[in-house]
Structure formats: C-alpha cells, structure tokens
Amino acid sequence: MSKDVRVLREVARNPKTPEKILEKLAMSGNEHVLLEVAENPKTPERTKAKILGKLAESKDNYIQRRVASNKNTPKESLDKLLRDSDEDVRKEVAKNSSTPFKTLKRLAVDKDEDVRIEAISSIISRPASEWKQ
C-alpha cells in the first residue's frame, strides 16, 4: 500500500476530519479509504449507506467482512452478503445488530455451524416482538 493511501486512510478515519473533507474522500476509488470514510462517525448517514452498499460488491473478503459488520450497511446489502461463499462474511452478517430478523432466520439454517450459532444467538437476543415476523 502506498504512503499516500495510508495518509488518506488516516485522514478518513480521524473523527476530527471535517465533513467536507470526508465527502471528498468518499469519491476515492480506493476501497480501503472508502471503508474508513464509511466508519467515521462524522460522515453523513446517506454517504455511509451509499459507500457501504457499493463496498458490499467488493471481491475482497476483508472489505466484505467489515461491511457485513457495520450497523449502517443497507439491509439490501446484508441480504446479498448472506449468500457469500465466505462463512466469515456470513458470520459477520449474523452478528450485525442491524441485520433484519428474516435474514437471521435464513442464516440460522446456514450450512456452516459457526454461522448458525451466531444467527441463533442474535435471534435470541432480539426482542420477542421481532420473533413474530
């Protein structure tokens, strides 16, 4: 990774970075910079959702796992990631507190035991009102 990308990632990660700069960094073509922008608390929600939706299509498993674990990832993207071939990505979807209940139910019958365990654990921790969905 070039020194320039490392610097951009540090700026994107910094919670003191102004929103204007984060918006400019959001136009970066580098997935790692985009991921840091999406995880910065100062980034506007609409920008986070847009970036995370785009990054969910990444071929990089590290990026996919971080997107799957991010509570701001759009529900449609979490639904796509539940079909990923990497069980660690599916496990992160199962652990995400924003994952829709119906998605958790699908993960509860996943072929991978660890994914099933995480999904069932998440289901159990949800309020009973969600169980009727």
Q: What is the pLDDT of residues 111-132, one digit of tens each?
A: 999 999 999 999 999 888 877 7
Q: What is the pLDDT of residues 73-107, one digit of tens each?
A: 999 999 999 999 999 999 999 999 999 999 999 99
What's the pLDDT score for residue 129?
A: 82
Does residue 1 register a pLDDT over 60?
A: no
Q: What is the pLDDT of residues 3-39, one digit of tens each?
A: 699 999 999 999 999 999 999 999 888 999 999 999 9
Distance between CA atoms of residues 88 and 86, nearest Å: 5
pTM of the model: 0.86
HSE-CB at 38 with a 13 A cutoff on CA atoms is 28
